[in-house]
Amino acid sequence: MVILIAIGVTGCAASSARKKPAPAAPAPVPEKPADWDKDGVPDQADKCPDAAETPNGYRDDDGCPDADPSRAVLTGAVVFELNSVNLKAASDGIIGQTADLLVKNPAWKVRIEGHTDTYGAPAYNLDLSRRRAESVKSRLVKKFGAAPERVTTAGYGGTRPIASLETREGRLANRRIEFVFGED
Protein backbone atom coordinates (compact mmCIF):
# COMPACT_ATOMS: atom_id res chain seq x y z
CA MET A 1 0.00 0.00 0.00
CA VAL A 2 2.86 2.32 0.69
CA ILE A 3 4.30 1.55 -2.71
CA LEU A 4 1.08 2.43 -4.47
CA ILE A 5 0.87 5.75 -2.75
CA ALA A 6 4.44 6.58 -3.68
CA ILE A 7 3.83 5.65 -7.29
CA GLY A 8 0.66 7.67 -7.36
CA VAL A 9 2.44 10.74 -6.05
CA THR A 10 5.32 10.24 -8.45
CA GLY A 11 2.89 9.83 -11.31
CA CYS A 12 1.16 13.07 -10.43
CA ALA A 13 4.40 14.94 -10.25
CA ALA A 14 5.55 13.59 -13.58
CA SER A 15 2.31 14.37 -15.36
CA SER A 16 2.16 17.92 -13.97
CA ALA A 17 5.71 18.55 -15.14
CA ARG A 18 4.68 17.68 -18.70
CA LYS A 19 1.70 20.07 -18.80
CA LYS A 20 2.36 23.48 -20.30
CA PRO A 21 1.15 26.43 -18.26
CA ALA A 22 -1.96 28.10 -19.63
CA PRO A 23 -1.21 31.43 -21.31
CA ALA A 24 -2.06 34.47 -19.22
CA ALA A 25 -5.37 36.06 -20.11
CA PRO A 26 -4.91 39.39 -21.89
CA ALA A 27 -5.68 42.48 -19.86
CA PRO A 28 -9.24 43.64 -20.44
CA VAL A 29 -9.46 46.43 -22.96
CA PRO A 30 -12.10 49.05 -22.22
CA GLU A 31 -14.65 49.32 -25.00
CA LYS A 32 -14.48 53.10 -25.06
CA PRO A 33 -12.41 55.73 -23.30
CA ALA A 34 -14.06 58.26 -20.99
CA ASP A 35 -14.81 60.56 -23.95
CA TRP A 36 -14.87 58.34 -27.03
CA ASP A 37 -15.92 61.05 -29.50
CA LYS A 38 -13.61 63.67 -27.94
CA ASP A 39 -16.29 66.36 -27.75
CA GLY A 40 -15.61 67.29 -24.14
CA VAL A 41 -18.79 65.63 -22.84
CA PRO A 42 -17.96 62.56 -20.69
CA ASP A 43 -19.49 59.38 -22.08
CA GLN A 44 -21.59 58.74 -18.97
CA ALA A 45 -23.35 62.11 -19.57
CA ASP A 46 -23.16 62.00 -23.38
CA LYS A 47 -26.48 61.17 -25.04
CA CYS A 48 -24.56 60.46 -28.29
CA PRO A 49 -21.19 58.98 -27.22
CA ASP A 50 -20.30 57.92 -30.79
CA ALA A 51 -20.94 61.32 -32.41
CA ALA A 52 -19.28 64.58 -31.42
CA GLU A 53 -21.20 67.59 -30.11
CA THR A 54 -21.36 70.47 -32.57
CA PRO A 55 -19.10 73.19 -31.11
CA ASN A 56 -21.33 76.18 -31.74
CA GLY A 57 -20.70 78.33 -28.69
CA TYR A 58 -23.98 77.69 -26.93
CA ARG A 59 -24.59 75.75 -23.73
CA ASP A 60 -25.80 72.44 -25.04
CA ASP A 61 -24.35 69.68 -22.90
CA ASP A 62 -26.17 66.74 -24.46
CA GLY A 63 -23.09 65.59 -26.43
CA CYS A 64 -25.04 65.18 -29.67
CA PRO A 65 -24.49 66.90 -33.01
CA ASP A 66 -26.90 69.76 -33.48
CA ALA A 67 -29.33 68.91 -36.25
CA ASP A 68 -29.73 72.55 -37.23
CA PRO A 69 -26.74 74.72 -36.30
CA SER A 70 -28.85 77.83 -36.91
CA ARG A 71 -30.97 76.92 -33.85
CA ALA A 72 -29.56 76.96 -30.38
CA VAL A 73 -30.57 77.55 -26.80
CA LEU A 74 -28.65 79.94 -24.58
CA THR A 75 -29.20 79.68 -20.85
CA GLY A 76 -27.62 81.65 -18.09
CA ALA A 77 -28.22 83.57 -14.93
CA VAL A 78 -31.29 85.74 -15.30
CA VAL A 79 -32.09 86.89 -11.78
CA PHE A 80 -35.37 88.39 -10.60
CA GLU A 81 -36.42 89.83 -7.30
CA LEU A 82 -38.36 87.29 -5.25
CA ASN A 83 -41.85 86.60 -6.64
CA SER A 84 -41.42 89.49 -9.07
CA VAL A 85 -40.72 90.41 -12.68
CA ASN A 86 -38.11 92.99 -11.65
CA LEU A 87 -34.74 92.03 -13.09
CA LYS A 88 -31.56 92.33 -11.05
CA ALA A 89 -28.47 93.93 -12.63
CA ALA A 90 -26.70 90.55 -12.60
CA SER A 91 -28.97 89.56 -15.49
CA ASP A 92 -27.43 92.06 -17.89
CA GLY A 93 -24.54 89.73 -18.80
CA ILE A 94 -26.65 87.05 -20.43
CA ILE A 95 -29.08 89.58 -21.90
CA GLY A 96 -26.12 91.45 -23.43
CA GLN A 97 -24.81 88.17 -24.91
CA THR A 98 -28.20 87.64 -26.48
CA ALA A 99 -28.08 91.11 -28.05
CA ASP A 100 -24.57 90.40 -29.38
CA LEU A 101 -25.73 87.16 -31.00
CA LEU A 102 -28.60 88.97 -32.71
CA VAL A 103 -26.19 91.61 -34.05
CA LYS A 104 -23.76 88.95 -35.35
CA ASN A 105 -26.56 86.88 -36.91
CA PRO A 106 -28.98 89.26 -38.66
CA ALA A 107 -31.24 86.45 -39.91
CA TRP A 108 -31.81 85.12 -36.40
CA LYS A 109 -34.74 85.74 -34.12
CA VAL A 110 -34.96 84.84 -30.45
CA ARG A 111 -37.80 83.45 -28.38
CA ILE A 112 -37.43 84.22 -24.68
CA GLU A 113 -39.00 81.40 -22.67
CA GLY A 114 -39.93 81.80 -19.01
CA HIS A 115 -40.12 78.81 -16.67
CA THR A 116 -40.98 78.35 -12.99
CA ASP A 117 -40.99 75.49 -10.53
CA THR A 118 -44.31 73.94 -9.54
CA TYR A 119 -44.56 75.52 -6.10
CA GLY A 120 -47.78 77.52 -5.96
CA ALA A 121 -50.83 77.67 -8.18
CA PRO A 122 -50.24 76.58 -11.80
CA ALA A 123 -52.16 79.59 -13.21
CA TYR A 124 -50.07 81.99 -11.13
CA ASN A 125 -46.81 80.32 -12.22
CA LEU A 126 -47.85 80.42 -15.87
CA ASP A 127 -48.63 84.13 -15.64
CA LEU A 128 -45.39 84.84 -13.73
CA SER A 129 -43.31 83.00 -16.34
CA ARG A 130 -44.95 84.99 -19.17
CA ARG A 131 -44.45 88.31 -17.40
CA ARG A 132 -40.81 87.49 -16.63
CA ALA A 133 -40.15 86.64 -20.29
CA GLU A 134 -41.73 89.98 -21.26
CA SER A 135 -39.54 91.76 -18.69
CA VAL A 136 -36.41 90.24 -20.25
CA LYS A 137 -37.61 91.24 -23.73
CA SER A 138 -38.14 94.80 -22.51
CA ARG A 139 -34.59 94.96 -21.14
CA LEU A 140 -33.17 93.42 -24.32
CA VAL A 141 -34.95 95.99 -26.51
CA LYS A 142 -34.65 99.12 -24.35
CA LYS A 143 -31.18 98.73 -22.86
CA PHE A 144 -29.40 96.65 -25.51
CA GLY A 145 -31.14 97.89 -28.67
CA ALA A 146 -32.54 94.62 -30.01
CA ALA A 147 -35.20 95.04 -32.71
CA PRO A 148 -38.54 94.15 -31.05
CA GLU A 149 -39.80 92.35 -34.17
CA ARG A 150 -36.94 89.83 -33.77
CA VAL A 151 -37.89 88.95 -30.19
CA THR A 152 -40.89 86.88 -29.07
CA THR A 153 -41.78 85.55 -25.64
CA ALA A 154 -43.46 82.51 -24.17
CA GLY A 155 -44.24 81.42 -20.63
CA TYR A 156 -44.51 77.78 -19.63
CA GLY A 157 -44.91 77.98 -15.86
CA GLY A 158 -43.83 74.70 -14.30
CA THR A 159 -44.77 72.50 -17.27
CA ARG A 160 -41.23 71.93 -18.61
CA PRO A 161 -38.98 71.02 -15.69
CA ILE A 162 -35.31 70.24 -16.35
CA ALA A 163 -34.50 69.03 -12.84
CA SER A 164 -36.12 67.26 -9.91
CA LEU A 165 -38.98 69.06 -8.25
CA GLU A 166 -38.24 67.16 -5.04
CA THR A 167 -35.12 69.13 -4.05
CA ARG A 168 -34.41 72.80 -3.44
CA GLU A 169 -31.61 72.72 -6.05
CA GLY A 170 -33.93 71.17 -8.61
CA ARG A 171 -36.64 73.75 -8.02
CA LEU A 172 -34.05 76.55 -8.38
CA ALA A 173 -32.85 75.06 -11.69
CA ASN A 174 -36.41 74.98 -12.99
CA ARG A 175 -36.87 78.72 -12.34
CA ARG A 176 -35.14 79.92 -15.48
CA ILE A 177 -35.20 81.92 -18.69
CA GLU A 178 -34.07 80.29 -21.94
CA PHE A 179 -33.17 82.13 -25.13
CA VAL A 180 -34.06 80.01 -28.18
CA PHE A 181 -32.45 81.23 -31.41
CA GLY A 182 -33.53 80.35 -34.92
CA GLU A 183 -34.22 81.70 -38.36
CA ASP A 184 -37.93 80.95 -38.29
Is 6 domain-assigned? no
Provide the Cα torsion 135, 137, 139, 145; round to 10°.
-160
User: Are 47 and 80 in a shared domain?
Assistant: no
Q: How many residues does the chain have?
A: 184
Q: What pLDDT, on the 0 to 100 scale, is given for residue 82?
A: 79
3-state helix, strand, coil in the chain (%, to 5): 35, 15, 50
Q: Which of 36-40, 129-133, 161-165 has the lowest mean pLDDT?
A: 36-40
Q: What pLDDT, on the 0 to 100 scale, is given for residue 141?
A: 98
CATH number of the domain within which 98 lies: 3.30.1330.60
Answer whether 74's CB lies under 8 Å from 181's CB.
Answer: yes
Res. 15: pLDDT tops 50:
no
Percent pLDDT > 90 in the chain is 44
Average pLDDT over residues 10-36: 61
101, 162, 169 from 44: Cα distances, Å: 31, 18, 22
Higher pLDDT, 10 or 182: 182
Mean pLDDT over all residues of the chain?
Answer: 79
User: Are 74 and 127 in a shared domain?
Assistant: yes
Average pLDDT over residues 28-55: 68
Domains of the chain: total: 2
CA 50 to chain CA centroid, Å, is 17
Is 52 domain-assigned? yes
Residue 61: domain span: 39-66
Is 184 domain-assigned? yes
pLDDT tens digits along 93-147: 999 999 999 999 999 999 999 999 998 999 999 999 999 999 999 999 999 999 9
Nearest to 177, CA basis, from 159, 155, 144: 155
User: Are 172 and 96 in a shared domain?
Assistant: yes
